[in-house]
């Protein structure tokens, strides 16, 4: 009984195929990062458009602030090259 | 209200409101304005955010009237804008706060009817910034009698309380019951079902402070005038500083009332103002200090909770202050007061 249990455990531990392949995991990481960036941009974008409506000269600044969270996705993209 | 549900958009609204707040007149502008005559003030306003209003009204009015009408119209326009931008719960909260202009309009119409002022004059004093549509306000103006006003308001949140107070008014012949009914209805709806998160919790504390200040001011005015009126009749529920009976007892002695305010949570902010009242017996300074304290309270809340209703309320207060200040300057200049004297009357942070 105990013997079979240890055998089973060793089989489980040794089987090297992970739940998701590494490339799929990397893709997931990038996707989640993009989701986060999108959520962050939602608020910033709304505020930027609001500021823009009051003062059009803020266009460039508003745009820069709006796309700042994109850096999250770019950093997450690094994972793809590491895998 | 159907718009009370759904997501609100504080980011957008707060960004716009902050931009508008930044373009309000500052200390330097006021210093310039107090040295100008009414015509120059109008010209100065034309170069600022009031341009449209001054241009629209410039052909019909001049001098102080022009300044005044432009101020009222701009105030209403600004707050309509804010309501137009907001959605969801934020809309609900701001609409509730802006109903104070509905309350103001109702009270103005009632006062006008009571003292037989003609329609034009009353209309000039109305601020169409609240929830009532223009048609409703016009119906109020056309009501013709106080009973008529109560009838027009039937179905709004002022209808019930006013109808109840009408009898008392007819018996006593004074406006106090009617005005109190309006004020109470306003503050009741303001505080109802308010708190859902930390920001609204703080917001409620702010509203509590506003009510407390109102009660304190009424109490002090009564204590000073020595009139034989029951302060409890003017008491507004919802404050934490006094209860109705306490206010009655305290307003008999000014010193006790002042000591009570000094010991309260507002003591630190109002310390200087209280000392001035004790020494000079002048309430103007104290009332200005109350307004300043309220404004800085709202500003602080706006910084602590940037994505809530508080920055908007802080803007509403600041805008009202500006309108009051410019009106005081224009009126003061017309009456020939010295710039120093007018400057002392302004509420500037």
Average pLDDT over residues A3-19: 68
Give the DSSP H/E element, type plus range, for residue B173: none
CB contact under 8 A, B15 and A55: no
* CB-CB contact of B347 with B288 (8 Å): yes
Q: With an 8 Å Cβ cutoff, is A54 touching chain B?
A: yes
Chain B residues bordering chain A (beta-carbon distance below 8 Å):
9, 11-16, 19-20, 85, 307
pLDDT at A15 over 70: no
* Integer CA distances (angstroms), B145 to A41, B1, B175, B300, in order: 55, 30, 13, 44
> Å from A50 to nearest chain B CA?
5
CB contact under 8 A, A47 and B20: no
B281-316 per-position pLDDT tens digit: 777 777 888 888 888 888 888 898 888 889 999 999
* CB-CB contact of B92 with B99 (8 Å): no
Token pair of A61 as six digits: 């600044």
Best mutation target, B16, B22, B312, to test chain A (most A CBs within 10 A): B16
* Domain residue spans of chain B: 92-193, 194-308
Which of B259, B261, B325 lies closest to B292 in space, CA to CA?
A: B325
Q: Into which CATH architecture does domain B92-193 fall? A: Up-down Bundle (1.20)
pLDDT at A11 over 80: no
Of A43, A48, A54, the CB nearest to B20: A54
For chain A, give me the number of helices (H) and strands (E)? 4, 0
Q: With an 8 Å Cβ cutoff, is A61 touching chain B?
A: no
Q: Is the ipTM above a cut-off of 0.85?
A: no
Of B12, B19, B20, the CB nearest to A46: B12
pLDDT at A72 over 60: yes
pLDDT at B149: 87
Name the closest residue on chain A to residue B9, using Cα atoms: A46
pLDDT at B14: 93
Q: With an 8 Å Cβ cutoff, is A66 touching chain B?
A: no
pLDDT at B4 over 70: no
> What is the overall mean pLDDT for chain B?
84
> Å from B49 to nearest chain A CA?
11
State the residue for tokens 């034009």: B120
pLDDT at B5: 53
Average pLDDT over residues B33-49: 86
Q: Which chain B residues have a beta carbon less than 8 Å from that of A43?
A: 11, 307
Q: Give percent helix, percent strand, percent coil of chain B, each to the nearest 5.
A: 75, 0, 25
pLDDT at A16: 65
Q: Which chain B residues have a beta carbon less than 8 Å from that of A47?
A: 11-12, 14-15
Distance CA(B192)–CA(B90), nearest Å, equals 15
Of A43, A44, A50, the CB nearest to B13: A50
Fold of the B194-308 domain: V-type ATP synthase subunit C fold (1.20.1690)
B281 class by beta-carbon count within 10 Å (0-12 exposed, 13-18 middle, 19+ buried): exposed
B188-230 per-position pLDDT tens digit: 888 888 877 888 888 888 898 888 888 888 777 777 766 666 7
* Integer CA distances (angstroms), B183 to B47, B104, B137, B215, B237, in order: 37, 9, 18, 12, 10
Distance CA(A8)–CA(A2), nearest Å, equals 10
The yes-or-no answer to whether B92-193 and B194-308 have a common fold is yes
């Amino acid at each position: 009984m105990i013997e079979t249990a240890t055998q089973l455990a060793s089989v489980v531990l040794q089987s090297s195929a992970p739940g998701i392949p590494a490339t799929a995991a990397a893709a997931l990481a990038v996707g989640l990062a993009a989701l986060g960036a999108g959520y962050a941009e939602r608020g910033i974008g709304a505020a930027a458009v609001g500021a823009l409506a009051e003062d059009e000269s803020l266009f460039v600044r508003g745009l820069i602030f709006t796309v700042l969270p994109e850096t999250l996705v770019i950093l997450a993209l690094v994972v793809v090259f590491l895998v | 209200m159907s718009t009370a549900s759904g997501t609100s958009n504080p980011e957008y609204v707060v960004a716009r409101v902050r931009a508008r707040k930044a373009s309000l007149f500052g200390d330097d502008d006021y210093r310039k304005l107090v040295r100008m005559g009414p015509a120059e003030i109008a010209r100065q306003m034309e170069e600022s955010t009031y341009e449209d209003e001054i241009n629209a009204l410039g052909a019909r009015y001049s001098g102080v009237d022009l300044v005044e009408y432009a101020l009222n119209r701009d105030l209403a326009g600004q707050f309509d804008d804010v309501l137009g931008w907001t959605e969801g719960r934020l809309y609900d909260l701001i609409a509730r706060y802006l109903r104070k202009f509905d309350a103001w309009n109702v009270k103005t119409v009632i006062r006008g009817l009571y003292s037989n002022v003609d329609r034009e004059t009353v209309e000039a004093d109305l601020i169409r910034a609240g929830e009532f549509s223009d048609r409703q306000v016009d119906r109020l103006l056309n009501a013709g009698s106080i009973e008529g006003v109560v009838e027009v308001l039937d179905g709004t949140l002022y209808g019930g309380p006013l109808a109840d107070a009408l009898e008392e008014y007819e018996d006593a012949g004074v406006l106090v019951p009617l005005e109190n009914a309006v004020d109470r209805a306003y503050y009741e709806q303001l505080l109802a079902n308010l708190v859902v998160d930390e920001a609204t919790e703080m917001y409620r504390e702010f509203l509590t402070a506003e009510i407390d200040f109102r009660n304190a001011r009424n109490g002090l005015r009564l204590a000073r005038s020595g009139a034989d009126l029951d302060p409890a009749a003017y008491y507004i529920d919802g404050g934490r500083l006094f209860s109705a009976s306490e206010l009655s007892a305290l307003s008999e002695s000014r010193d006790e009332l002042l000591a009570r305010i000094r010991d309260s949570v507002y003591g630190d902010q109002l310390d200087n103002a209280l000392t001035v009242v004790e020494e000079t017996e002048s309430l103007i300074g104290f009332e200005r200090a109350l307004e300043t304290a309220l404004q800085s309270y709202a500003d602080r809340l706006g910084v602590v909770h940037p994505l809530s209703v508080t920055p908007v309320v802080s803007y509403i207060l600041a805008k009202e202050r500006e309108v009051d200040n410019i009106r005081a300057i224009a009126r003061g200049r017309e009456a020939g007061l010295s710039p120093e004297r007018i400057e002392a009357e302004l509420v500037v942070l």
